[in-house]
Amino acid sequence: MPQRILFVCMGNICRSPTAEGVTRALAERAGVAINFEIDSAGTHGYHIGKAPDARATKAAAERGYDLLPLRGRRVGDEDFVRFDYILAMDRDNLELLTQACPAEHRGKLGLFLEFGAGRTGAEVPDPYYGGADGFELVLDMIEEAANGLLERLGKR
């Protein structure tokens, strides 16, 4: 049975779809994709059904990641049951997830960057209101954490 991972940010058009696309691609490149089910969602419903932000898509494509098939969606009650890991990009979204999550599933919640080397408590900054450099920084952080996540879960 695959390990199910859900990445969560606010709108599901920048950080969480980038985390989904990067983690999926890294798992495929490592030949372990069959061991994982990877998805993303937002805590807010602003962008349901919409493609990821064009700047995120462009930055990801320049590194060989395809975000074009992804579409925004909102976290639903069923996600707390379905997924083994529900990883927020920042503390604000982690708090919203904690409030919505049934007590018996709260152990599944965490910050995505906890899987990056030396990034305990760190957050993926929201690049939406900034320039291209912000999307590059987000990709750097996500690649590091995705590699750490796959390494850690691959050993279980």
Query: In this predicted structure, what is the pLDDT of residue 26?
Result: 97
Statement: residue 156 has pLDDT above 60: no
- Over the stretch 36-79, which tens digit does the pLDDT of each residue have? 999 999 999 999 999 999 999 999 999 999 999 999 999 999 99
pTM of the model: 0.96
Quick one: pLDDT at residue 132?
87
Long-range contacts at 76-81 (CB < 8 A, ≥ 24 apart): 76/41, 79/6, 79/41, 80/105, 80/108, 81/105
Rg (alpha carbons) of the chain, rounded to whole number: 14
Identified catalytic residue from 39, 53, 79, 126: 126
CA separation for the pair 84, 114 (Å, rounded): 16
Beta bridge partners of 12: none
Annotation marks residue 92 as catalytic: no
- Average pLDDT of the residues in 19-30: 97
Question: What residue numbers bound the domain in which 90 lies?
Answer: 3-154
24 is annotated as an active-site residue: no
What mean pLDDT is predicted for residues 4-12? Answer: 98
What is residue 15's predicted lDDT score, i.e. its pLDDT?
98
Tell me the per-residue pLDDT of 115-138, one tens digit each, with 9 for 90 and over.
998 777 789 999 999 888 999 999
Q: How many domains does the chain have?
A: 1
- The beta strands (E) that lie in the chain are given as 3-9, 36-42, 85-88, 109-111
Give the confidence band of 155 by pLDDT, cuts at 50, 70, 90.
Answer: low
As separate numbers, helices (DSSP H) first and strands (DSSP E) second, the chain gives 5, 4
Marked catalytic residue, from 14, 15, 24, 90: 15
Instruction: Say which CATH number the domain at 49 has.
Output: 3.40.50.2300
Q: Evaluate whether 27 touches 150 at the Cβ level (below 8 Å).
A: yes
Q: What is the mean pLDDT of the chain?
A: 95
Q: Which one, of 50, 122, 51, 40, lies nearest residue 87 by Cα?
A: 40
Q: Strand, helix or coil at 108?
A: helix
What pLDDT was estimated at residue 117?
82
d(CA 56, CA 108): 27
**Catalytic option among 9, 39, 90, 101:** 9
